[in-house]
Amino acid sequence: MEKSIKKYFPIFALPTMVAFTLGFIVPFIMGIYLSFCEFTTITDAKFVGLKNYIRIFSDSTFTHALWFTALFTVVSVLAINVLAFAIAMLLTKGIRGTNAFRTVFFMPNLIGGIVLGYIWQILLNGILEHFGKTLTYSASYGFWGLVILMCWQQIGYMMIIYISGIQNIPGELIEAAKIDGATAPQVLRYVTIPMVMPSITICTFLTLTNSFKLFDQNLALTAGEPSNNSQMLALNIFETFYSRTGWEGAGQAKAVIFFIIVAVIAVAQNRITRSKEVQQ
């Protein structure tokens, strides 16, 4: 059977492999190479060694964006997961209207980042106006604005995953714990949370990478204002490429650092939470 399928390689595998090579592998390898070059377009690249990498660490907008992004990621991952888990716990108690609530909470997730950014800009600026401020008054307004926006967008998605995790816990397990005299917090701590660990793994992974790579929402909500102080890493890289002449190489070097950080976070996070999962 394997042999006869193999003859069909050009039909089955080739289209995806060609597109994947052009759309991912070649740009990725070129991206690494270009980070060691000076260039304005891909045909005039001149090798300059580590110059770009040295340059980006003396660029204060980059280090600022890095810390801003890191802090934002920590706050939003905690907020989204705690709230989504709490809502999921309450919505699995079998109250009336559960399905309607689920539908409503999930809905914002389908709206794209650019549209979300402008929706929240009008809302938050409307509230801040009463205090004579705007979202771009200082970076911390932009920061909390983004946290609120991300909660609104992502809580529903994570809630759906947590609900399915909680529903998969065998009822006898919780009954047994209660008969043995466990209090509600003890059931949560020693039964529910260990049993939904796979959901926690996937939800922290998704929120971590979504928050760290955030671009559209950042662009639409504050566009990095005031003076790049609410700029996150992805937007900083974009502006380095397209708004500063002569900085393309530095932009690419930032992108390589960005990729390495995302990869390390993804792998480390997966290791840590997977090791806490119990065998079922």
Partner 1 sequence: MAKNTDNQVSAVRRAKHGWLLTLIFTVIAVLWLYPIFLVVINAVKKKAFITREPFALPDERSFFGLKNFVSGIEKTNFFSAMGNSVIITVGSVIVIIICTAMCAWYINRVKGKLSSAMYTACLFAMIVPFQMVMFSLSKLANMMHLSNPIGIIVVYLGFGAGQAVFMFSGFVKSIPLEIEEAAMIDGCTPLQTFFQIVFPIMKPTTITVAILEAMWIWNDYLLPYLVLDLKKYKTIPIVIQYLKGGYGAVDWGTMMAMLVLAIIPIIIFYAACQKYIIEGVVAGAVKG
Using the rule CB under 8 A, give the single segment among 46-54, 64-72, 138-146, 262-270 that binds partner 1.
262-270
Strand partners, 47: 37
Gap between the Cα atoms of 129 and 244, Å rounded: 33
Structure tokens that stand for 249 in this block: 């190489």
**48, HSE (Cβ side, Cα atoms, 13 Å):** 18
Number of residues that bind partner 1 (CB under 8 A): 104
Q: How far is the CB of 75 from partner 1 (least distance, A)?
A: 20
Q: Output 199 or 229, the one with its CB closest to partner 1.
A: 199
- Report 140-199 residues binding partner 1 (CB under 8 A): 152, 157, 160-161, 163-164, 167-171, 174-175, 198-199
Q: From the CB of residue 106, how many other CB atoms can be counted at a distance below 10 Å?
A: 15
User: Strand runs (DSSP E) across 23-167, as ranges?
Assistant: 37-38, 46-47
71/268 with CB nearer partner 1 = 268
Picking from 176, 174, 179, the residue whose alpha carbon sits closest to that of residue 196 is 174
Name the residue nearer to partner 1 (CB basis): 49 or 94: 94
Cis amide linkage into residue 226, ω under 30° from 0? yes
Segment near partner 1 (CB under 8 A); pick from 52-60, 71-79, 219-227, 271-279 = 219-227
Binders of partner 1 among residues 188 to 217 (CB under 8 A) are 198-199, 202-203, 206, 209, 213, 215-216
Contact between 84 and partner 1 by CB under 8 A: the answer reads: no
d(CA 25, CA 28): 5
- Minimum CB separation of residue 262 from partner 1 in Å reads 5
Measured CA to CA, the distance from residue 135 to residue 157 in angstroms comes to 26
State the virtual CA torsion across 67, 69, 73, 74 in degrees, nearest 10.
10
Phi, psi of 240 (to 5 degrees): -65, -40
Residues 229-258 that bind partner 1 (CB under 8 A): 234, 237-238, 241, 248, 251-252, 254-256, 258
Least separation in angstroms between residue 49's CB and partner 1 is 19
Interacting residues with partner 1 between 118 and 137 (CB under 8 A): 118-120, 122-123, 125-126, 129
CB 80 within 8 A of CB 68: no
Q: Which stretch binds partner 1 (CB under 8 A): 50-58, 63-71, 73-81, 95-103?
A: 95-103
Smallest distance from the beta carbon of 192 to partner 1, in angstroms? 11
Site string for partner 1, 7-46 (x = CB under 8 A): xxx-xxx-xxx-xxxxxxxxxx-xx--x------xx----
